[in-house]
Amino acid sequence: AQKVTQAQTEISVVEKEDVTLDCVYETRDTTYYLFWYKQPPSGELVFLIRRNSFDEQNEISGRYSWNFQKSTSSFNFTITASQVVDSAVYFCALSSNTGNQFYFGTGTSLTVIP
Amino acid sequence: NAGVMQNPRHLVRRRGQEARLRCSPMKGHSHVYWYRQLPEEGLKFMVYLQKENIIDESGMPKERFSAEFPKEGPSILRIQQVVRGDSAAYFCASSPELAGTFTDTQYFGPGTRLTVL
């Protein structure tokens, strides 16, 4: 069974603080893909990153970084020097080669306070 | 390059009416997926379609819900005889032609927010 758990329901930080959003996944597949999406207050879903199970290199994109650890089945997302515009709901998702659908976590609502 | 288009953005229906949600995939994408997001929840898969074919409808409710992706025109998610529990945001996503078993990124539209009175 495929499952994504985002244990943090809501997080509030003060602007310029760093924040890490946790994502833990479950799958029996050896080939799978992990994603992060951002849902700002306007409601659309914005693709942030895709990672396949064979690539455990961490990735950095500006203030965003992702830490993929197969040993703990985690794919955590860190925002450095947070800004008010980062306020959104962030979803982690899992997909595998054996299926077509994405499995989403329940999301983490991030509020950055100015 | 236009993204995934969905219309309407907001739809209000009374119980018992029909709701039709439209999705135009990104240019060059031939795979369409529909997801439902209930309040305070993540997205749940409903159906996966290619042109004129339903590939996977394992997430679709057995009754009142149907989806199509005709050769010409947008994909349609149709909900007949809507009930209050159908109130949700419905998202469409698209992806390019899959190469073998390669799973590509799904790009999402802005969603249609359905409210059933």
pLDDT tens digits for A74-94?
999 999 999 999 999 999 999
Residues in chain A with CB shorter than 8 Å from the CB of B101 are 31, 97
- List of chain A residues with pLDDT < 70: 98-99
Q: B16 CA to chain A: closest CA distance, Å?
A: 27
- What is the predicted pLDDT for the residue at A78? 96
- What is the predicted pLDDT for the residue at B102? 54
| Binary contact (B45, A105; C-beta < 8 A) | no
Q: Does the pLDDT at position B82 exceed 90?
A: yes
Residues in chain B with CB shorter than 8 Å from the CB of A50 are 105
Whole-number Cα distances in Å, A84 to A15, A22, A40, A106, A110: 7, 20, 11, 22, 10
- What is the predicted pLDDT for the residue at B80? 97
Strand (E) or helix (H) holding A69: strand A64-69
| Binary contact (A100, B55; C-beta < 8 A) | yes
| Length of chain B counted residue by residue | 117
**No. of helices (H) and no. of strands (E), chain A:** 0, 12
Token pair, residue B42, equals 């993540």
Residues in chain B with CB shorter than 8 Å from the CB of A106 are 40-42
Segment B63-75 shows an average pLDDT of 95
Task: Please tell me the least confidently modeled range out of A18-27, B3-12, B14-23, B102-111.
Answer: B102-111
Q: Which amino acid is at B28?
A: G
Confirm if A87 and A110 have CB atoms less than 8 A apart.
yes
Q: Does the pLDDT at position B79 exceed 90?
A: yes
Confirm if A13 and A86 have CB atoms less than 8 A apart.
no
What distance in Å separates the CA atoms of residue B55 and residue A10, rounded to the nearest whole number? 36
What distance in Å separates the CA atoms of residue B111 and residue B18, rounded to the nearest whole number? 18
Nearest to A8 by CA among A28, A26, A18, A22: A22
Phi and psi at A85, nearest 5°, equal -65, -10
Nearest to A80 by CA among A27, A26, A20, A28: A20
Question: Searching chain A, which residue's CA lies closest to the CA of residue B40?
Answer: A106
Q: Residue B98: pLDDT band by 50, 70, 90 thresholds?
A: low
* Chain B contact for A97 (CB, 8 A cutoff): yes
Question: Searching chain B, which residue's CA lies closest to the CA of residue A33?
Answer: B103
Residues in chain B with CB shorter than 8 Å from the CB of A47 are 105, 107-108
Omega cis (within 30) before B25: no
Nearest to A77 by CA among B45, B111, A88: A88
- What is the predicted pLDDT for the residue at A44? 87
